[in-house]
Every structure is written in structure tokens, then in C-alpha cells.
Structure 1
Amino acid sequence: MDEWIVRVLVAFVFTVIGWLAGHRLALGRDKRKEYNDAIEPIRNILLSNRVVSELIVTEIDVKLGKRAHKILKVYRESYKPLIDKASSLCGSDDYGQYGPLKAHKDEYEFIWTEAKKRMLEVCKHK
């Protein structure tokens, strides 16, 4: 009789441990999926060579809370100043087309690539 009780208790304990481990892993998977879904708009904008607005970054901060503070910090301290610097190298050419001036095209491309790279580093899929 004692052996039967021990077997039932061991089975019960391992069932509870398995349930807790599975639950914890499922929560981690859900958080990862939520994070990836939230950063997807920024990644799409960056990969299509468009400028990310602060509104999009703020929306992500609202959705993710503490997990998005790093993205917001990189946006404000690194990405935005670089984009502003790249924009200062733009102007109208002889045909009225707005874009990087020929004299600054290489510097513009370098700054744009660096800004994009920094944002993509913090917006990696998990």
C-alpha cells in the first residue's frame, strides 16, 4: 500500500512540474510572438528604405512597455539625429528633384545606412 501511495505522489509531483514548465514556455512563446508582431512595422519601413516616424516607435512603446524602451532610446539618441543629419545633406538639384546633393551623396548613403543598421539591431526578431 505504501508503495502505491509513493508512486501516485511521484506521478502527481511530476505532472505538476511538467504543467508548470509547459506553462512557462508557452508564456515565453506568446511574449516573443507579441514582440515580433509589434516590431514588424518598423522592420518593414526600414527594409523598404523609408524613414521611421516617432509615432510608430511610440505606438510600439505603448504596446510593449518596458521591452520597448531600448528601441525608443536608440531611436531618440542615435537614429533620429543621424536621419536629421542626412536630411541636411539633401536639397533640390537643377531639375527641381529633392534628394541628396551630388557633392554629399556618399556621406548621405553612409549616414542613412548607419542609422538603418542601428535601428535594425534593436528591432531583431526574437
Structure 2
Amino acid sequence: MSTTGDRQTETVYQEVQRSAAFADLRSRLRRFVFPMSAAFLLWYLAYVLLASYAPGFMATRLGGSNITVGLVIGLLQFVTTFIITMVYVRYADRRLDPPATALREEIEARRAEQAR
């Protein structure tokens, strides 16, 4: 913040950061990211715990082949990562990008106005 006499002026970025639109955007992001991260970490922790404490179960062969439960669950970790990424991209396209674009355009307009 810069001061001019008794008057304090905020930068455009500080004003936007305090705005309801920015708070809403941040809230939307957190409502998706925190639960999804927690769910994935629990899923990964379950895999690690099963590998550590249920090796017999994880070594169970499926369909008489060399494919085991542990291998399938391990591969599902990768599948889960790709699914989460696809879901996030869809969520961002619909719920995050439009308000973020509006905020960016507002900032650019205000910066252009200040430059004049």
C-alpha cells in the first residue's frame, strides 16, 4: 500500500483480492481441491496399508493368472489420478474459468485506465 498524505491507495490487485468475486472464486476452488485431495490421499493410504498389513490379500491371484489384487489396486491409483484430472478440468472449465476470466478482464481494464 502506498500513502499519499492521509489517503491510502490500494493497488488494483489488492482491491480485487478483497472483492466478493475473488473470495467466491477462491471458495469454489477450495470446495473442489480440498475434498478431492483428501479422498485421493485416503485411497492411496488404503493401498499402502493393505500392502503393509494384508500382504496375503494383495498377493491373491485373479483368474488364475499372474495378475494380483495388489497389481490391480496399484494400477487403479494411476487410473484414479487421470479421472481426477479430467473431473478437475471439467469443473474448472465450468465453475472457475469464467469468473477468473472476468476478474482478469477487470484487472486489465483498471490497469489500462490507470495508465492513462
| TM-score normalised per structure 1 | 0.34
